[in-house]
Amino acid sequence: MTEQTLDDNTHTISWVSYILHLVVAVSAIVPGAQMGPVLLVVALVLDLVKKGDASGWEATHFSYRIRTVLWAALLYLLTSPLWFLFVFPGWLAWVAISIWFLYRIVLGMVRLNGQRPVTNE
């Protein structure tokens, strides 16, 4: 497999992963759209498996998506008790986390489209 083909493959995989993450992010904000968790796991596994195939600026996108998912999961976990104690603050926290997640995914997509790396912003 040539270097160009490998880059094309990882680039395509990055787009597929970002689209899956985008569906997850939008479904987290839209009430009743609960297809997110399954797609999130699929996208995360895809990123974990294919991360080693990426190099250069494309590798930053794999790490960025993995970090984003792990931070979102941690934040959801830490704020989940709010749902049991006070429903409204729990809802607000999860909406804020979901908007942050959506922002990170859109930012990554914009940078991928411009063939630029993503950083720890």
Residue 57 within a domain: yes
Residue 119 lies in a domain: no
The predicted pLDDT at position 32 comes to 66
HEC readout, the chain: CCHHHHHHHHHHHHHHHHHHHHHHHHHHHCCCCCCHHHHHHHHHHHHHHHHHHCCCHHHHHHHHHHHHHHHHHHHHHHHCHHHHHCHHHHHHHHHHHHHHHHHHHHHHHHHHHCCCCCCCC
Q: Identify the pLDDT of residue 120.
A: 67
Query: What range does the domain containing 63 cover?
Result: 3-113
Structure tokens at 103: 């922002």
Q: Residue 93 is encoded by which pair of tokens?
A: 């926290």
Q: What single letter denotes the amino acid at residue 16?
A: V
Q: How many domains does the chain have?
A: 1
Residue 7: pLDDT band by 50, 70, 90 thresholds? low
pLDDT for position 117 = 95
pLDDT band of residue 1 (cuts 50, 70, 90) is very low
Per residue in 64-81, pLDDT (tens digit) is 999 999 999 999 899 989
pLDDT tens by residue, 37-67: 788 899 999 999 999 999 999 999 999 999 9
Structure tokens at 86: 């006070």
Q: Is residue 82 part of a domain?
A: yes
Residue 121 located in a structural domain: no
- Here the tokens at position 45 are 């596994």
Look at residue 53 and tell me if it is in a domain: yes
What is the pTM (predicted TM-score) of this model? Answer: 0.86
Residue 71 lies in a domain: yes
pLDDT at residue 91 above 80? yes
pLDDT in tens, 11-43: 999 999 999 999 888 887 776 666 677 888 999
Whether the CB-CB separation of 62 and 50 falls below 8 Å is answered with yes
